[in-house]
């Protein structure tokens, strides 16, 4: 990643035309060749940018441009479209490069992970007397989202999905089959919990004796506020 603070003007032509007058801005060149132009305010979105795949070529300015003070010309071309970003640099105030390596995943914890934590914390929404055994209960074929016990102390395996599809029911069925072979656990009941359950999935689940539960995300978050979740 290359960081350049420069006095520059920027032109973009693609689906629209845009021009940025001369000012000091941050030019961010990423490892994949993409370029972002940021000002010192208005977060989130760059003033101008070029998405990968694209190529950055640094050109010598034409004499007439040089006469206007341009010392370097960046031409960023999109690989697949005719989109073109041109940065006319008048002065470079900072220039540094950094090796960041590959990001382990821009994986934001999705709703599913959050639902799992919320349900684990409030397992009683499944019924009085329900108690959490543990999250991510490991089996030979992978972790079950939540293992709990019901009011009679019987084991309950819970599969959580954001959208309850047939795949999820199949997955839970495999876990149940395996766990019910373990005399220390059996009999194990199944709960398929999701924000939304497709009719086909519901039918299949009920046919296999699996209970379906709709999770209300907002309600589960309820009392819980962001600060208490982080600290």
Partner DNA sequence: TGATACATGTCGATG
Partner DNA sequence: CATCGACGTGTATCA
Are residues 149 and 133 in contact, defined by beta-carbon separation less than 8 angstroms?
yes
Residue 157: φ, ψ to 5°:
-95, 130
Q: Of a second copy, DNA, none, which one sits near residue 185, judging by CB under 5 to 8 A according to partner kind?
A: none
Does 16 bind DNA (CB under 7 A)? Our answer is: yes
Q: Of DNA, a second copy, none, which one sits near residue 104, judging by CB under 5 to 8 A according to partner kind?
A: a second copy
165, 185, 211, 213: residue in contact with DNA (rule CB under 7 A): 165
Q: Of a second copy, DNA, none, which one sits near residue 229, judging by CB under 5 to 8 A according to partner kind?
A: a second copy
Q: What is the spatial distance between Cα 230 and Cα 206, in angstroms, rounded to a whole number?
A: 37
- Is the Cβ of residue 33 or residue 127 nearer to DNA in the bound state? 33
The total number of residues shown for the chain amounts to: 231
Eight-state DSSP code of residue 71: -
Q: Which residue has the tokens 């992978």?
A: 142
Q: What is the spatial distance between Cα 87 and Cα 37, in angstroms, rounded to a whole number?
A: 9
| Parallel/antiparallel/unpaired status of strands 35-38 and 142-149 | unpaired
- Is the Cβ of residue 112 or residue 170 nearer to a second copy in the bound state? 112
1, 3, 14, 79: residue in contact with DNA (rule CB under 7 A): 14
- Where does this chain bind a second copy (CB under 8 A)? 1, 3, 5, 11-26, 28, 30-32, 34-36, 38-52, 82-84, 86, 93-94, 96, 98-111, 113-114, 225-227, 229-230
> Is 84 strand, coil or helix?
strand
Q: Site map for DNA, 36-75, x if CB under 7 A?
A: ------xxxxx-xxxx------------------------
On the 0-12 / 13-18 / 19+ scale of CB atoms within 10 A, 63 is exposed
> Is 95 strand, coil or helix?
strand
Query: Which residues would be at the binding site for DNA (CB under 7 A)?
Result: 12, 14-16, 18, 42-46, 48-51, 78, 83, 85, 108, 110-113, 142, 161-163, 165, 167-168
């Amino acid at each position: 990643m290359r960081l350049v603070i420069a006095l520059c003007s920027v032109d973009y032509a693609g689906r629209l035309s845009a021009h940025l007058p001369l000012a000091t801005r941050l030019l961010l060149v990423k490892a994949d060749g993409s370029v972002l132009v940021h000002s010192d305010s208005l977060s989130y979105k760059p003033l101008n940018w070029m998405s990968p795949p694209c190529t950055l070529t640094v050109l010598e300015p034409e004499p007439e441009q040089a006469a206007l003070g341009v010392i370097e010309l960046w031409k960023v071309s999109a690989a697949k479209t005719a989109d073109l970003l041109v940065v006319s640099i008048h002065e470079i105030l900072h220039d540094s490069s950094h090796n960041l390596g590959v990001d382990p995943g821009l994986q934001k914890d999705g709703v599913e992970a959050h639902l799992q934590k919320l349900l684990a914390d409030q397992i009683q929404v499944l019924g009085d007397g329900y108690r959490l055994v543990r999250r991510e209960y490991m089996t030979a074929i992978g972790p079950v989202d939540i293992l709990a016990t019901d009011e009679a102390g019987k084991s309950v395996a819970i599969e959580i999905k954001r959208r309850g599809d047939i795949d999820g029911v199949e997955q839970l069925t495999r876990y149940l089959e395996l766990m019910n072979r373990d005399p220390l656990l059996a009999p194990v009941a199944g709960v398929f919990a999701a924000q939304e359950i497709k009719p086909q999935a519901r039918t299949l689940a009920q046919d296999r004796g699996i209970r379906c539960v709709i999770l209300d995300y907002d309600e589960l978050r309820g009392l819980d506020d962001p600060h208490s979740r982080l600290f």
